[in-house]
Amino acid sequence: MTETLFTKIINGEIPADVVYEDAEVLAFCDINPQAPTHILIIPKKPIATVNDIEAEDAALVGKLFVVAGKIAADAGIAEEGYRLVVNCNAAAGQTVFHLHMHLLAGRQLSWPPG
Ligand code: AMP
């Protein structure tokens, strides 16, 4: 996989406002927030898109949800509600080709998304 700017964030070469980190997962604030809370949750393993997830990644990808729930609980937004979004490829608006989950909260989110 081609290295993306998220690899640079993982390696500390680009600064980020990190809200969670362990050996496998990193979460940091989106630089262009679309809601009062907008956090990106990424695997440290460089997986480009949802299309590139393999069976062996199941636990790692599941962990993104576990971390999302922990971040929401810690931020006090779990009960109010939040949205998790994963864009895959151009038609969905994916711009960084390193798998990432958006966690959005803090305002009423409309449906369907644009
Ligand atoms: P997507 O459009 O789903 O690929 O989302 C990529 C996200 O990465 C966008 O919401 C961007 O605002 C965000 N982003 C791009 N560069 C950075 C950065 N240096 N730090 C934090 N978030 C970033």
* CATH number of the domain to which 74 belongs: 3.30.428.10
CA–CA gap between residue 19 and residue 102 (Å, rounded): 13
* Structural domain includes residue 111: no
Closest CA to 99 of 25, 14, 33: 25
Give the domain extent around 42.
5-105
Share above pLDDT 70 across residues of the chain, in percent, rounded to a whole number: 99
Is residue 42 within 8 Å of residue 26, measured between CB atoms?
A: yes
To test the pocket of ligand 1, the residue of 50, 96, 97 to mutate (highest count of ligand atoms within 8 Å of its CB) is 96
CA–CA gap between residue 10 and residue 44 (Å, rounded): 7
Q: Is 62 left (phi over 0), alpha (psi -120 to 50) or beta?
A: alpha
- At 2-35, the pLDDT tens digits run 789 999 999 999 999 999 999 999 999 999 999 9
Q: What is the pLDDT of residue 3?
A: 87
Question: Which residues surround ligand 1 with Cβ inside 6 Å?
Answer: 5, 14, 16, 30-32, 40, 87, 93-96
The structural domain count of the chain equals 1
